């Protein structure tokens, strides 16, 4: 991947995704979004992976979208190449078939918080700050900061961050349910790996199914979740085997309604 701005490694059954642009506090540009999209595709097709961890290199998890990357874009380019493409990438990240844990090794601001919200669990270090500073630039959250964050965390803390510019400490964020655990400085990655290992030890099919069910309950890709679950169920039936055999043998299928 270009300049290795996103790195991926496997630790047994765990995929470790790193935002690797520490000189810019892991601020996201189009190259990073494309690399993150490729990363999701690779994880989806690797059946050996049972859980994933995403973290940042250096002092921050991510400071959000790189202002230099989007400030010069025209309105159409900004809307299509930046916002809509970013949405598609984040939807893919949130919809990974395996549980995703965000290790917030530092500040998660704007797009960085929107990435963290895609995870199933968030572990933050005590020094991390959480916020949506976009309106201070005359901009609005663009990668589901007013949508997924509200669904997952409730509207009031999002109001405080998006309207008032309030920066939450890790301890405040855990009280509001925005992060699940707070650990000491330098400890988030190890804690996330331990959590991922515990998840990976559980039944992978059941875990994937539960993630789909929870997504449907939350309204996160509900149509896709329902159809995926229905298709998996149908794929296990004797009726499907009979239907496929009958098609290949050019005969009428004799369905029995069995499993």
In a domain, 256, yes or no: no
Task: Say yes or no: 141 and 213 in one domain.
Answer: no
CA dist 250 and 256 (Å) reads 18
pLDDT value of residue 221: 72
pLDDT value of residue 3: 63
Split into its structural domains, the chain has a count of 2
Q: Give the count of beta carbons closer than 10 Å to the beta carbon of residue 92.
A: 17
Share of the chain above pLDDT 90, in %: 66
Task: Say yes or no: 8 and 98 in one domain.
Answer: yes
Place of tokens 């400071």: 63
In a domain, 255, yes or no: no
Residue 38 Cα distances to 8, 104, 212, angstroms: 10, 22, 21
pLDDT per residue over 185-218, tens digit each?
999 999 999 999 999 999 999 999 999 999 988 8
pLDDT exceeds 90 at position 42: yes
Task: Say yes or no: 65 and 158 in one domain.
Answer: yes
Tokens of 159: 């109001």
What domain range is 208 assigned to?
Answer: 204-249
pLDDT exceeds 80 at position 2: no
How does strand 108-109 pair with strand 100-104? Answer: unpaired
Of 167, 183, 200, which residue sits at a domain end?
200
pLDDT value of residue 219: 82
pLDDT per residue over 225-259, tens digit each?
777 777 777 777 888 888 888 889 999 988 888 67
Share of the chain above pLDDT 70, in %: 98
What's the distance, Cα to Cα, between the start and end of the chain in Å? 45
**What's the CA angle centered on 113, arms 229 and 174, to 5 degrees?**
90
Residue 51: band (very low, low, confident or very high) from pLDDT cuts 50, 70, 90: very high
Task: Say yes or no: 124 and 66 in one domain.
Answer: yes
In a domain, 106, yes or no: yes
Task: Say yes or no: 162 and 133 in one domain.
Answer: yes
Q: Which of 70, 29, 52, 10 is nearest to 199 (CA)?
A: 52
CATH (domain of 176): 3.90.226.10
CA dist 91 and 85 (Å) reads 10
Task: Say yes or no: 185 and 169 in one domain.
Answer: yes
Of 159, 181, 200, which residue sits at a domain end?
200
**Cβ partners under 8 Å of residue 75, min gap 6:** none
144: Cα within 13 Å, side-chain hemisphere: 24
In a domain, 135, yes or no: yes
Task: Say yes or no: 112 and 173 in one domain.
Answer: yes
42-53 mean pLDDT? 96
Task: Say yes or no: 64 and 109 in one domain.
Answer: yes
What are the catalytic residues? 114, 134
pLDDT value of residue 142: 85
Tokens of 91: 């939807």
Task: Say yes or no: 240 and 186 in one domain.
Answer: no
pLDDT value of residue 81: 78
CA dist 19 and 156 (Å) reads 29
* Mean pLDDT, the chain, integer: 91
pLDDT value of residue 52: 98
In a domain, 257, yes or no: no
Task: Say yes or no: 215 and 181 in one domain.
Answer: no
In a domain, 143, yes or no: yes
Task: Say yes or no: 74 and 179 in one domain.
Answer: yes
In a domain, 180, yes or no: yes
* φ, ψ (nearest 5 deg) of residue 143: -115, 50
In a domain, 150, yes or no: yes
pLDDT per residue over 224-234, tens digit each?
777 777 777 77
68: Cα within 13 Å, side-chain hemisphere: 3
Q: Where are the beta strands (DSSP E) in 163-220?
A: 168-169, 181-183
Tokens of 154: 């409730």
Task: Say yes or no: 211 and 91 in one domain.
Answer: no
pLDDT per residue over 141-190, tens digit each?
888 889 999 999 999 999 999 999 999 999 999 999 999 999 999 999 99
């Amino acid at each position: 991947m270009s300049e290795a701005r996103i790195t991926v490694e496997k630790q047994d059954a765990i995929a470790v995704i790193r935002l690797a642009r520490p000189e810019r506090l892991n601020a996201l540009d189009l190259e990073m979004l494309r690399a993150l999209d490729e990363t999701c595709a690779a994880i989806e097709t690797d059946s050996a992976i049972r859980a994933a961890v995403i973290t940042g290199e250096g002092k921050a998890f991510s400071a959000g979208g790189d202002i230099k990357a989007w400030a010069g874009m025209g309105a159409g380019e900004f809307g299509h190449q930046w916002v809509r493409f970013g949405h598609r990438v984040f939807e893919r990240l949130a919809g990974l078939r395996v549980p995703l844990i965000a290790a917030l090794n530092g500040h998660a601001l704007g797009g960085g918080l929107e990435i963290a919200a895609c995870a199933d669990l968030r572990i933050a270090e005590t020094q991390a700050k959480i916020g949506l500073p976009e309106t201070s630039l005359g901009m609005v959250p663009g990668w589901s900061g007013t949508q997924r964050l509200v669904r997952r965390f409730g509207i009031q803390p999002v109001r405080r961050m998006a309207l008032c510019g309030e920066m939450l400490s890790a301890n405040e964020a855990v009280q509001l349910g925005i992060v699940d655990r707070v650990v000491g400085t330098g400890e988030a990655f190890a804690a996330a790996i331990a959590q991922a290992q515990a998840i990976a030890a559980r039944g992978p099919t059941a875990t994937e199914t539960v993630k789909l069910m929870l997504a449907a309950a939350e309204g996160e890709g509900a149509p896709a979740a329902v159809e995926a679950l229905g298709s998996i169920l149908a794929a296990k039936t004797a009726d499907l085997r009979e239907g496929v055999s009958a098609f290949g043998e050019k005969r009428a299928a004799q369905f029995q309604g069995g499993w």
